[in-house]
Structure 1
């Protein structure tokens, strides 16, 4: 029966435009983390000296609980014990298929390469999900916490399905969108990760409290983030209709969401006024409530120690959002929370400047 189910899924994925090129043993049922394809990956130069890589397509779970797929990388260090796993969760890259870091090195951001290189240098296997909708067919549920979290955890399951010698112990390390997903993963891990053991979660400049953050965006250079976030909501809640929220000048630029990735999207929207971005210049309160419902971490208890890193000059996730809101929310629970502030660091340089600090913290979790 498992073989039949796998063949049916392969057929469905093919119909949806997802190529299935490598079959794996039928005994590895269609549970989350089941590896559907595995091929050698070409890595950025900064990583190829440290690791060998596989690009995998694996089963994960949508927000409704149905089967979906994600792609990503499994990076095996060339030196070290290799058996501990760190799941890297990347920051925003875009919404379209081509914005998956595993197939598009131009969106495997420099700060991500530095962070992942440090993890590999410590001898840890690194998984790096693309999230559903990036590198696979279908919409990307951008900033929707639970699908991100499941894809992150399932990347670890996928790695262990490829290499049973890997430990059940893992740590999650994420930036921006990935930091938000990492925090959600800590919340759902006890009910979702099976026999895995989450030892800690590091989140660098994590997106949080979007109902407070979103009203600050119209009229700023970060307006493309809001457009993407509206479509992320629409992917899981059709009652949110971006075409009724966006103003005409913003709607005229929507093609960039499918033809470009983050930098192109930000450039397309950065010079609009608030009223050119959204009708009336403000996002309706009903939509802000949806952002809070789907996007905000810390609504339930984390399951492992947490490290939060935040730069004071962050232009995408303002320092006060993390310091004044997220940190107290996390501290209300029982897990220890370490808050590291990096004076003068921006959204991206906070990752670079904290690479050693984060890796040291992870080493302590594994020890």
Structure 2
């Protein structure tokens, strides 16, 4: 190789620096761009099998605006291959303190078991917090298109940290994350660029909410409904939860910013239906608005789907997934509904961790 003169070398270095300085801001607006990365503190069951990075990365809101999100990239300590699985966590809350990447308390046991199984197969796991959990904006709880974008962009971010990772990925999630996984599958063809979605595993996903929203007031799970109303408000400023909530429920909304899931559920569990919402019933127009944001399968998923649901689910009724499976099948998309007898909302994840991972393995082969 010929020697480069010092003058020419200096000129090349200067030009390269100018190029980086010019391109930097543009790259920083690309979905999946990693804004920061630091070593993550993981629960013991995961730190034994993986190393973790907590990242802040670029994603988009449901209108395409550039926003930031946080999450984890978990790398197996042994047996690593080049596949990526995005993991969508279940409900943790609305406050920044409810982000699983920084709060191990809300990295629920069932999630740890599911993620550990994924890592045991050698897959890198991309696990977003979702927008608004750990970032300034309000969390668009149960706005499926928001979670779906952050799942895909967390995969992009993982690949930006590790160029050896494949473009092939699978999305897996539970409850809120199962819903988000299905939305990711819907938007992938127009959103994930060079990535290749191979399948979607969805455990006890939120779906067909119009069928059960008005069975929630007066039950122990009515805190979920309060969070969902504020999720709509996060993307629709014209929507006012105070116009739906009764005064006793409105008086408790401070818990949404001071507590996470169990504190929120405890705050609302003893209210009557009439104390939760005006007249004890959510108005039809509000039910329809919530369903428009929350229900997957309004368009076709873009890859095969596995739905897992326990028959004794206390949070999302089993029949919602029976309807969902038929809706997906009507598009001609391969779908399997795996029924877990006598399992509740969380136990379904634990009981099927191996089954789900086996299904994902077949998608990669």
Aligned partner of 1:328 in structure 2 is 326
Q: CA deviation at 1:81?
A: 3.2
Q: CA deviation at 1:292?
A: 1.5
How far apart, CA to CA, are the structure 1 residues paired with 2:302 and 2:269?
Answer: 38
How far apart, CA to CA, are the structure 1 residues paired with 2:183 and 2:159?
Answer: 21
The answer to whether the aligner puts 1:224 opposite 2:198 as a matched pair is: no
Aligned partner of 1:109 in structure 2 is 108
1:44-193 matches, within 5 Å, as 44-193=43-192
3-state DSSP of counterpart to 2:212:
helix
- Label 1:2 to 1:314 Cα distance change in 2 as closer, same or farther (>3 A): farther
The answer to whether the aligner puts 1:363 opposite 2:322 as a matched pair is: no
Contact 2:169 2:196 in 1 (8 A): yes
How far apart, CA to CA, are the structure 1 residues paired with 2:154 and 2:341?
Answer: 33
Q: CA deviation at 1:63?
A: 1.1
How far apart, CA to CA, are the structure 1 residues paired with 2:344 and 2:23?
Answer: 47
How far apart, CA to CA, are the structure 1 residues paired with 2:84 and 2:232?
Answer: 31
How far apart, CA to CA, are the structure 2 residues paired with 1:2 and 1:238?
Answer: 38
Contact 2:76 2:122 in 1 (8 A): yes
Aligned partner of 2:199 in structure 1 is 200
Question: TM-score when scaled to structure 1?
Answer: 0.93
How far apart, CA to CA, are the structure 2 residues paired with 1:236 and 1:274?
Answer: 26
How far apart, CA to CA, are the structure 1 residues paired with 2:328 and 2:212?
Answer: 18
Q: CA deviation at 1:82?
A: 2.8
How far apart, CA to CA, are the structure 2 residues paired with 1:6 and 1:215?
Answer: 49
Contact 2:76 2:123 in 1 (8 A): yes
- Label 1:74 to 1:247 Cα distance change in 2 as closer, same or farther (>3 A): same
Question: TM-score when scaled to structure 2?
Answer: 0.93
How far apart, CA to CA, are the structure 2 residues paired with 1:218 and 1:151?
Answer: 30
Aligned partner of 1:351 in structure 2 is 349
Q: CA deviation at 1:333?
A: 1.0
How far apart, CA to CA, are the structure 2 residues paired with 1:240 and 1:210?
Answer: 18
Q: CA deviation at 1:29?
A: 4.3
CA-to-aligned-CA distance 1:43-79 (integer Å, 9 cap, x gap): 1000001000000000000011100011000000011
Contact 1:73 1:102 in 2 (8 A): yes
Moved over 3 A (4+): 1-7
Contact 2:325 2:336 in 1 (8 A): no
Q: CA deviation at 1:297?
A: 0.3
How far apart, CA to CA, are the structure 1 residues paired with 2:20 and 2:280?
Answer: 53
Structure 1, unmatched stretches of 5+, are 8-25
Contact 1:2 1:30 in 2 (8 A): no
Aligned partner of 2:240 in structure 1 is 241
3-state DSSP of counterpart to 1:91:
coil
How far apart, CA to CA, are the structure 2 residues paired with 1:88 and 1:50?
Answer: 16
1:269-288 matches, within 5 Å, as 269-288=268-287
3-state DSSP of counterpart to 1:239:
coil
- When the two chains are superposed, the root-mean-square deviation of aligned CA atoms in Å is 1.2
How far apart, CA to CA, are the structure 2 residues paired with 1:284 and 1:6?
Answer: 48
How far apart, CA to CA, are the structure 1 residues paired with 2:97 and 2:28?
Answer: 29
What is the count of residue pairs matched by the alignment?
A: 347
Aligned partner of 1:33 in structure 2 is 32
Contact 1:2 1:29 in 2 (8 A): no
How far apart, CA to CA, are the structure 2 residues paired with 1:235 and 1:205?
Answer: 24
CA-to-aligned-CA distance 1:117-154 (integer Å, 9 cap, x gap): 00001110001000000011110000001111000000
Aligned partner of 1:12 in structure 2 is none
CA-to-aligned-CA distance 1:168-203 (integer Å, 9 cap, x gap): 000000000000000000000010000000000000
How far apart, CA to CA, are the structure 2 residues paired with 1:151 and 1:3?
Answer: 27
